[in-house]
Structure 1
């Protein structure tokens, strides 16, 4: 069976994966891009000027083997995007997913076919139901859980994550949406490895233990 994977998911030292308030002008709230600067500095992100090394080695694992993505409503757009029939996500005409992408939302709308192989499907489903739908679309490849933090938390709580690459960034946000709330002891289900990077971030790899 295909795996359920999370990649390049960044949190602050105090566990926040996004700041507040989210808006069209500030997709990550007061956090800005501080959680993602490590990734934006890599060759995987910036082919001409980006760095190689530890961070890039992790960042470039994001895409290979992925046949579908699941994301939450707040990753697809700012508050109120449901009321804008022309909203097609943050990423322009050619989003970086290149697979069927399932947006979990209570507001149904027709699917949107984008350039580069991405088609957004808007579904109301439990994590298990969404994963079953995404696996069917993935054609035997893996399914990526794209975030945001509330949705990642729901998939972890349901025991549906096989592999998680978590990046702890050395900043303190103080407020926003935390990843770990309600997940006490979740690490017991995984083998956990940590690798520190010269950039200051720490890469954690959670691999589900064999049952």
Structure 2
């Protein structure tokens, strides 16, 4: 049965999934890039960015798991780019260049209509203006019985959590403090929503936890 998953989503020790002040040159906000040291050195990530080598340890294993059996993605508008409001033109095609790392259909939540964008490598961005439920319905249909992965950002994951729609989350807790930004769990009672931690593994660069809805 198809699941709605969050994978390889990194949080600071104080619960922030991105730093403040996201810009074109600083897409993860102030301090946000440092959260992801655990993944940057893995073999999978280096291959995605056109580099050789990389670690084959626990961090790599969780990175590999994050891409398994994924048939579609859902992204918030901010995960697609820094542009806010109406699309001024159609020149912006995402942070990742001509060949994004998804290689499956990607459904972007937005309030502003835009035609689909066909990219290299099998990625097509679709822009959904009818909310999270409509995006999930379209994504599950496109995934063809595979899982749907919510890539973020924090606000998008929070919306799906509050509706108890996420089946499983893998979070990587980075050993650093951000102090401010977007907090994933603020005001959300995960126990009341039926979530439990089912797995935890520590590495030098992150503590990996898996949370499932029971």
| Short-chain TM bin | over 0.9
2: CA distance between counterparts of 1:60 and 1:111? 28
Matches within 5 A, 1:56-95: 56-80=60-84, 82-95=87-100
Matches within 5 A, 1:123-138: 123-138=128-143
Find the counterpart in structure 2 of residue 176 from structure 1: 181
TM-score, normalised by the number of residues in structure 2: 0.92
Q: Could you list the runs of 4 or more consecutive aligned residues of structure 1 that deviate by over 3 angstroms after TM superposition?
A: 185-188
- 8 Å Cα contact 1:41/1:50 also seen in 2: yes
Distance 1:31 1:186, change over 3 A: farther
- 8 Å Cα contact 2:73/2:151 also seen in 1: yes
2: CA distance between counterparts of 1:172 and 1:187? 27
TM-score, normalised by the number of residues in structure 1: 0.94
Find the counterpart in structure 2 of residue 113 from structure 1: 118
What are the ranges of 5 or more consecutive residues in structure 1 without an aligned counterpart?
none
Q: CA-to-partner distance for each residue in 1:53-76, whole Å, 9 max, x for gaps?
A: 111110111212111100000000
- 8 Å Cα contact 1:94/1:118 also seen in 2: yes
> 1:2 deviation in Å?
0.5
How many equivalent residue pairs? 208
Q: CA-to-partner distance for each residue in 1:132-165, whole Å, 9 max, x for gaps?
A: 1110111111100010000001111110011100
For the residue of structure 2 that corresponds to 1:103, the secondary structure is: strand
Distance 1:186 1:83, change over 3 A: farther
Find the counterpart in structure 1 of residue 40 from structure 2: 40
